Structure formats: structure tokens, C-alpha cells
Amino acid sequence: MSLDSYVTLGRSGLRVSPFTLGTMTFGEDHGWGSSPQESANILAAYLDRGGNSIDTANIYTNGHSEKIIGDYFADRSALRDRVVIGTKFFGNLYENDPNGGGAGRKAIVQQLENSLRRLRTDYVDIYWLHNFDPSTPVEETLRALDDLISDGKVRYVGFSDVPAWAAAEAATVARFRGWAPIIALQLEYSLLERTSEGELIPMAQALGMGVMPWGPLKSGFLAGKYSSTTTGPVDTTRTQLVGAPSEADYVVIDALNAVAAEVGASPAAVALAWVQGRPGITSTLVGARRFDQFEANLQALDMTLTEAQRGVLDDVSAPTLNFPADNNRTLAPLIQFGGATVDGRPSTVSPLLQASSARY
């Protein structure tokens, strides 16, 4: 795999790299990010490798992330139409302004205008709803986004961190109204956070949405810095923000480190390769605070895990999902197929069916 092995994002005509460059770390305004020069170096290296998909948000480093990206492409205007720039709305940058954030029309329009100003462009390729706004009618949000597409300021719409039922409702409303569809979801997904497998990822597959996972290294927990035997300080500047791994996390981390040692790669590369190879995943968000971290993460492009290695990681990280996930996975085929093999998946005969040969 390479960054120019482009993939189609959901039910759309948009093609993106298998790794999308996440830029939450662009800018030092929160005390732990990359300098503007380091950020530009990371961006240049990503583009040089054939990457074309860049993700930011209006609230990343209080708008500085968008500005760094905008300044970079302003000096290289011929590149702008060659890349896919996504940014997000929802976050409020203004204290005590009740309409500064969220998913209402007023908020959406002003947030986009400010993002376009910082990005120094007249359109964004993907405009993502960054979080769930339960008090704003979904019709208001979708119609505002459709209008922005009609105005040429937005090309595609995506949802991030929205419950599956709300995303499905929005997708259905958009389809029946003939408004711009939701082509993709962003959601947290890693070896340490797999609960999206219960509702969100199956919903996306069923409704034709691409899936773009964020947090594939779980705030650095899966980057190789941690193990159950590690003592002393860990090289991270975000401990106060994200905490430290739990005892249960270390079971997964130790298994990941063992597989990484077996294949001769970094734990970060193995963790990223595992995410990108999961069902339903389109393009994984990959970020870094330092250039060397970015280069280490790209080693995942050359990573091929065996079925046995994937099986180890799948088993040790298996999530507990909400009802009816286990019911649908185990009971449903038992009572539906009666022992037949369908679509390559065998089933077993229900003991209730075997209890008697009588049929009425």
C-alpha cells in the first residue's frame, strides 16, 4: 500500500489516500503541538509521498491549524485543487456566544466563513459536523449544508462523533429531500476502542458511508511508549489531558508490542495497519507531533499482518458491545439457517430444532 493507492470515500466520486493527514497537532497553542515550521515539514512530506487528504477543524489550536494549512497552500496555489481539504464545524471559538458553535444555520455559516478565511481558500472539500447537537433540528443542519454546496463553498458533507441513530436519521432525511448526502463518518477506532463495531460501522456500510477513524493510536497508548513492564517517565506532553493506560489496556498493549517484535516493526505501524485493514474502514487519520513520529507512522503503509497475527490482536482487543450485537451475531444465524453454510459462513443447528422431529 502507498499514499497514492487512492480509495473512494463512501458513495461518492471523491478519492482519498488510505491515510488522511490529521492536523490537530498543527500549532503550539495548546502547549503540546508542532511549530508552524514542523507542521509545514510534515505536510510537505505527506504530499511528496502522494498523500492527498488533509483533515482539520475550526477549533484545532484555536484556528491555528487551519491557518498553517492555508498559509502553506497560499504559497503553492497550483496544489490547492489537487488535494482534499476537510474541516469541521461545531466548536465555539467565542466565549459566551450562544450561536458561536453547534449545528444551527447561523453557526454553520459563520464558522465556514471563518474557516475559509483561515484556510485562504474559497471552498472546502469535506465539511464535517464535529459532534452531536441534539437540540437543533436535523433538517436545519442538512438544508444549511446543502445550500453551502449549492453556493460552491462546500463539496461534500461528513459527520463526526454522532450517534448511529442520529446519523441514520440524517442520511434518510437527506436522501428523501434530495439534499447533499452524508458520504462519510469520523469515529474513534483503535485496538483500545472498538465499540463502533456495534452500530456505527455497520450503519456506515449499509448506508454507503466511508469510515475515517480517528485516534488509531489511542492518544499514543499504542505508539510503543508503553508496556506493563515500563518504568520511569514516558515521552509524552499530553499525560494531563489523556491520562495513562489502565490495567486492561496493558493486556492489549503487551500483545501489540509482541506482534510488533515478531514482524520487526514499530507498535505504531502495526496498530495503524490493523485499523486500516478492518472491515468498513476507508481512510485512517494519522497525525504526529514531531516529524520523526510522522515518518514512523507511515511505516504502516509497508506492513502486512498475517491472519494469525491479526487473530491475536482481534482476540485480545475484542470489545463488549451493546445489545443486540451478540444476539445478532450468535443467535440469529442459529435460528435462521439451521446448520446451513451461507455466504461462506457456517451455522449450527439449534438444539431446540433438534429436540424433536415433529413439525406442525
Catalytic residue numbers?
60
Alpha helices in the chain (DSSP H): 36-48, 64-74, 105-119, 138-150, 164-177, 200-207, 239-242, 247-263, 267-276, 291-298, 307-316, 325-326, 332-337, 351-354
For residues 57-76, one letter each, b for 16 or more C-beta atoms within 10 angstroms of the residue's C-beta and e for the rest, the string is bbbbbebbbbbbbbebbeee
DSSP one-letter code for 28: S
Alpha helices in 1-152 (DSSP H): 36-48, 64-74, 105-119, 138-150
DSSP one-letter code for 331: I
Handedness of CA 268, 270, 275, 277 (dihedral sign): positive
| Residue carrying C-alpha cell 491549524 | 65
In 3D space, the residue among 12, 13, 19, 343 whose CA is nearest the CA of residue 207 turns out to be 12
Cβ(225)–Cβ(235) under 8 Å?
Answer: yes
Contacts of 310 by beta carbon, 8 Å cutoff, 6+ apart:
274, 277
Contacts of 77 by beta carbon, 8 Å cutoff, 6+ apart:
none
Nine-digit cell string for 30: 495548546
Phi, psi of 212 (to 5 degrees): -120, 95
- Residue 20, strand partner residues: 285
In 3D space, the residue among 212, 215, 358 whose CA is nearest the CA of residue 283 turns out to be 212
